[in-house]
């Protein structure tokens, strides 16, 4: 068990992580355009991912978390001058989660956009922060969740812009669909702004499906389960766009549709 180091150059790569890996360090080379599809296997209980996105590069990291047990996941990323990081995270499994993410936009022109989807039947807790440490940086995050039965989804999302990081942009949105009154979920969006010349916003929704929409779908011949599945799809399918492979996109789309009961 130990640390793995991965050097990303231009092109697509795929990688699976099992319990033998405790830490994965990813270096993205200067000026490259690289994509990594990372599959976290069922036996993983703890993993730290460190990522260095070099100047002028564009890196896409997609994580599919298939862990079946209680798991801790930490993501630490540094984005350099003129670089862009795209981050997608998908977790459709039932195990407990403690996920922390800290992304630092270290130099001028650094950008990150992230999107996560999660289905929770147990407790899943996320603490995510994008920190702007230089001017002309951009950080956007969107989080989508489906909470079933007595599940719990906790999202603490923070955008932080320090003094001197002028002309920066920080936006965040979280949408949570709860399918039971027995859930225990909360969303806490935070903006810490110490600079005047910036753009920043946050938005969130947390609630049950619209009964009028469900009724309409049922009048069109769908069962209640199928109607709930169709409404749930709108929360989960946006993650597919963060997968840089057509076959894997279709595979993930099929898995999501099956998970919400649209396929046998």
Q: What are the pLDDT digits (tens) for 73-104?
A: 999 999 999 999 999 999 999 899 999 999 99
115/118 Cα distance (integer angstroms):
10
Torsion of CA 208, 150, 224, 228, to 10 degrees: 50
Round the CA-based radius of gyration of the chain to a whole number and report it: 19
Q: Tell me the domain boundaries of the chain.
A: 2-209
| Most confidently modeled range among 21-30, 127-136, 202-211, 255-264 | 127-136
- The per-residue pLDDT for 264 is 56
The least confident of 68-72, 134-138, 228-232 is 228-232
171/152 Cα distance (integer angstroms):
24
* 263 CB neighbour count, 10 Å cutoff: 11
- The per-residue pLDDT for 252 is 94
The helix (H) or strand (E) run that includes residue 49 is: strand 46-53
Q: What are the pLDDT digits (tens) for 166-213?
A: 999 999 999 999 988 888 899 999 999 999 999 999 999 998 888 888
Q: What are the pLDDT digits (tens) for 130-141?
A: 999 999 999 999
Q: What are the pLDDT digits (tens) for 115-161?
A: 999 999 999 999 999 999 999 999 999 999 999 989 999 999 999 99
Which residue is listed with tokens 């079933």? 148
């Amino acid at each position: 068990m130990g640390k793995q180091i991965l050097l990303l150059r231009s092109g697509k790569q795929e990688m699976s992580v099992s319990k033998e890996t405790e830490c994965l360090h990813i270096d993205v080379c200067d000026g490259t355009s690289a994509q990594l599809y990372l599959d976290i296997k069922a036996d993983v209980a703890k993993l730290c991912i460190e990522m260095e996105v070099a100047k002028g590069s564009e890196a896409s990291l997609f994580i599919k978390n298939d862990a079946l047990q209680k798991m801790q996941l930490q993501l630490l990323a540094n984005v350099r001058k003129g670089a862009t990081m795209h981050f997608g995270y998908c977790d459709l499994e039932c195990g407990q989660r403690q996920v922390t993410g800290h992304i630092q936009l270290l130099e001028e022109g650094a950008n990150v956009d992230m999107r996560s989807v999660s289905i929770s039947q147990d407790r899943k807790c996320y603490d995510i922060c994008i920190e702007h440490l230089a001017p002309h940086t951009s950080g956007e995050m969107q989080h989508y969740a489906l909470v079933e039965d007595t599940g719990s989804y906790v999202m603490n999302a923070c955008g932080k812009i320090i003094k001197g990081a002028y002309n920066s942009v920080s936006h965040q949105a979280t949408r949570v669909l709860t399918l039971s009154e027995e859930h225990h979920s909360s969303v806490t969006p935070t903006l810490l702004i110490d600079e005047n010349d910036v753009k920043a916003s946050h938005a969130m929704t947390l609630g049950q499906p619209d009964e009028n929409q469900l009724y309409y779908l049922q009048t069109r011949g769908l069962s209640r389960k199928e109607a709930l599945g169709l409404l749930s799809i709108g929360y989960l399918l946006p993650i597919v766009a963060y997968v840089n492979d057509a076959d894997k996109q279709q595979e993930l789309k099929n898995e999501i549709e099956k998970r919400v009961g649209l396929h046998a």
